[in-house]
Amino acid sequence: MALLAPILPGARGLGRSAGDLVWLIAEADVAPLSGQYVDGRVPRPGSRESHDPAKITRAVEWHALLGRFVETAGLLAPNSP
């Protein structure tokens, strides 16, 4: 994918993507970003679907279900020697 970044519209190289992620985690004021996504370092409005209460509820339920599955299955447990 890194080879295609220069010719694909909107694609970013690994260095730029990593820098944007570090900026978002360490420096960005994320409080006003609720309901938005970040494209590089530019906040963009979420889609109409991303604000649908029923879809939000369903996503939260799936997240909880998946978390319980991962915990029960021991998928995140360290490998024992």
pLDDT digit string, tens, across residues 4-62: 767 887 788 888 889 999 999 999 888 888 778 888 899 998 888 888 899 989 999 99
**77 and 51 fall within a common domain:** yes
**7 and 24 fall within a common domain:** yes
pTM for this entry: 0.52
The domain containing residue 30 runs over which residues? Answer: 1-46
pLDDT digits (tens, 9 = 90+) for 59-75: 999 999 998 888 888 77
**42 and 54 fall within a common domain:** no
* Pairing mode of beta strands 36-39, 42-45: antiparallel
Q: Quick check: 38 and 24 in contact, CB under 8 A?
A: yes
**9 and 37 fall within a common domain:** yes
